[in-house]
Structure 1
């Protein structure tokens, strides 16, 4: 009797272990063949499990891996059991705009929700109501009218950039010039600009020719964001990870956040009026219905990154392509040096009308999008159709900007740096090789109610920085140090690698002759 009970007990355990061991296989078979998304094209391994996605995310090759899959399976791609990503222009409107007769696709909490006990920010607000309230308050600080008042701030830091690079060039032999990492200097400039516009004080990166500790910590922790996102797909892992964070790291996070809190507080205590971004928040709060102090702190913390790192990335990528395409650089030099007789004439209004610098920057944004992958939204309850595919409620949907921008179906010779595709002749002359380019596929600042408010500021910074650098310096590639942008890893932000260039002070007489 005892033996039979023991055998029954062991048998039940055996069955339980068998079921547990077979569950992943059964689940994978269901995901591939019977899941509501089973008819969406995609590789079996990615459709069966979230693991291939997470592996690519943690390696930093998710963007490149998905691009390869799109080339095989088409513009609509299943990249996980419950996620579909799109690389076709129609997806911009169908996912990010609020379409008449459709519910809004809200941000996926897996990526966007705030950390426990942290206030909501403009970017982390999933609910449309708080997002709209915060955005309305901030938007006045990013209008073209506000930008005109803020232009002196931009000139101040771009001129300081020129001064620092001039010092580097003057310390080097005139024949060879100075070898610098231009990407670092772009970051110094954009973070200093936003520091002044956001908090009334710069980060003094240009002044000290080094990163502020807050920014250095930000860049050193970029990879950690991917690990946090990956853990959130598995609640138990996420729970354990949070519990295992050492106290020293928690203290570092608090210190990091407190530095922004202190900057915000100092700006709020200013008695002097200034036309910066925070002035509009202060005015809105005085009129009622504004932002809580927690929302201000959280929002300006994320805006510091979103308003600085992305612009610097676009400039870095553009310059990297320019120095390896001398004919394009020469055309840009000709435009700048012929248009302005003196550096004092270079201003935002004048630069806005120059066709080639705008074409160069558009092409840089196409090949080097700072946000290469538009993070997922969730299909609303009841399901909806995107790009001809009906998707059940809760499905994660994202947009692959990097893939779309490099697709031969949308751009002629998509892997080449060809600013000419953005000139007026390309849109009006049927004989132009770029006439059929789908330029609306490029949306570097996104679309819809959550599109980038800072796009006017970003364009102003990019034009002014590029124009003043071209006016003052000759740029050359450093032999043997070519960077392939396609090889850079992406951990939500583009991995920082040196973009080495050689600079020499431009001959003033040459400018006058041109």
Structure 2
């Protein structure tokens, strides 16, 4: 056996490395801008993918290098409309897909989404596309099913304690119920209300495939470790559900299964089940995540005006079809622009013979792609201020054709998302049901970091996989009074007697004597505030006390719950509520705002307390003024001048 000396081996390795460098340097792609490392290795890109940061990483590269970037030795990313049109629309249905899509094969079968060449895709699409056509999606039976599931979503969120709900989970349940309704009605899931169905939804995802793709050895080891603790099911719940339901008869005429009964081509039972399971995955993740990001944005203080305008349109046009409401359409379009269901790259192979894209010659088999996240944000001539959520841009006639042409949320061309019409119906129906009845604000525990985009192979979800929002009914009256002067703010309030439901109550008088402070622009509901009271009870002396109240909502009322007054001279102290009108967010441009409340005695264990109290003749009214904390030097200077001219005393005489 011939043995090579160490020197020979080193020389051979050096020669191979030199050849590799020469090929990279002289490659037709060498002139394309990009980081130096991308000319020689794809490890940086793979590392970003593993960390779920691929989309943001490529976006930053485009910001640095321009509309054409070499992101790996054989991969180039584009952001222009011309490139998008060439890659995804030319030659009928654009370039062929890469082996990346093998990750999404189900039961070892290719679905319409995972077919690589145009011919196979067109053959499968001829069977399926009919059921996703807008004319079929808009049929009464189809739309009614979506509306029923939207109503269940609203009920689930608004009946949660304090009106606070995790919409991330609820929206995925809603999306699952909608897509299975379209696939299998009347055999669809009920994830919104049934725990077993919701568990099935959780099992169905691509996270495990992400691990197996980038670290197969780790994936095999991890699976064996899990097996030691709990034997996995022979077949996951989603597989069981689809395999069983696919064999049932009597599905509605608008469903995909009914289409399979009419026209199957050469598809067998497993092919049909694989196609349905693929549509479930796409329908759950893309619609659920996209709606989650959109509702989060609408709930931010910066989008308060948008939320109000949307509510005004919806409430003023209760009988108008959802697809005829211009501002609702604008909100959805802007949501899809800023938070596309598929924000990541959709890779394709350059066809045989090579192609020229955006002035660069690319040899065949070069991987090329566009990602919606960057296309929507970096074409400033079409979308000025691309990082700003601004639905108003979609109401402008000028440039409308360009905006809609470059909309890449559902991909583009003949291989674009076949379910986009269903997704739009789901989004518009849910937004209408929510914002025609409720306003939404973030729960105080939510942080912006939790809503950062985390890549999931081809879709993206919030990093924290949680989104807590508070739902406030719009039907409750909103206080619109201008802030009152000092002599109008402080009012005497007589505490109701024990007949209102609190057996521990004792008669007495309360008086507001201080300010309740909160941050500039913060939402009042859910906030904690200190309340200074002067209290006098029967057979006791007058004493001052401070209570910490929490603003919450119940039964279309807003109220402040104040626990029993902690005063050693008065035992037991009364536990009371201040029932008020629905509290809006404190205006950013106002230093103070006034709301009307009444004292109500009650118990947190009595959920009917607010409604019972509303009929009580023993109510007395006083005014509570929020004074927001200034956030700038100019505001603080203005505040000092205002306080000097019209300050409230810290303690006022008790008037009995």
How many Å separate the matches in 2 of 1:507 and 1:294?
A: 51
User: In the alignment, what sits opposite 1:13?
Assistant: 6
Matched, 1:505 2:477: no
Question: 2:31 aligns to what SS in structure 1?
Answer: coil
How many Å separate the matches in 2 of 1:155 and 1:470?
A: 14
Question: 1:406 aligns to what SS in structure 2?
Answer: helix
Residues 95-130 of structure 1: CA distance to partner in whole angstroms, max 9, x if unpaired?
Answer: 011337xx9511001343666971111111113333
Match for residue 331 of structure 1 among 306, 309, 314? 309
How many Å separate the matches in 2 of 1:117 and 1:13?
A: 49
Matches within 5 A, 1:13-412: 13-20=6-13, 23-24=16-17, 27-28=20-21, 30-31=23-24, 33-99=25-91, 104-112=94-102, 118-147=108-137, 148=139, 149-168=141-160, 171-172=161-162, 178-200=163-185, 201-208=187-194, 212-219=198-205, 221-222=206-207, 224-230=208-214, 246=223, 252=232, 255-256=235-236, 259-260=238-239, 262-271=241-250, 273-285=252-264, 289-324=265-300, 325-340=303-318, 345=319, 350-407=321-378, 408-412=380-384
Residues 240-285 of structure 1: CA distance to partner in whole angstroms, max 9, x if unpaired?
Answer: 67876856889858613x7435434434322464432211121113
Match for residue 414 of structure 2 among 440, 444, 449? 449
CA contact (8 A) 1:412 1:437 kept: no
Compared CA separation, residues 116 and 364, structure 1 to 2 (3 A): closer
How far is the alpha carbon of 1:144 from its aligned partner? 2.2
How far is the alpha carbon of 1:80 from its aligned partner? 0.5
Larger deviation, residues 259-268 vs 359-368:
259-268
CA contact (8 A) 1:332 1:357 kept: yes
User: In the alignment, what sits opposite 1:488?
Assistant: 453
CA contact (8 A) 1:284 1:290 kept: no
User: In the alignment, what sits opposite 2:506?
Assistant: none
**Gaps (5+ residues) in structure 1?**
173-177, 232-237, 429-433
How many Å separate the matches in 2 of 1:59 and 1:160?
A: 35
Compared CA separation, residues 24 and 299, structure 1 to 2 (3 A): farther
How many Å separate the matches in 2 of 1:253 and 1:381?
A: 45
How many Å separate the matches in 2 of 1:267 and 1:113?
A: 23
Larger C-alpha radius of gyration, 1 or 2?
A: 2
More strand by share: 2
The two structures have a TM-score, normalised by structure 1, of 0.82
Compared CA separation, residues 244 and 210, structure 1 to 2 (3 A): closer
More helix by share: 1
Give the number of the structure with larger relative contact order, counting CA–CA contacts within 8 Å between residues 6 or more apart.
1
Larger deviation, residues 299-308 vs 20-29:
20-29
Question: 1:180 aligns to what SS in structure 2?
Answer: strand
CA contact (8 A) 1:199 1:264 kept: no
- Count of residue pairs brought into register by the alignment: 467
CA contact (8 A) 1:75 1:87 kept: yes
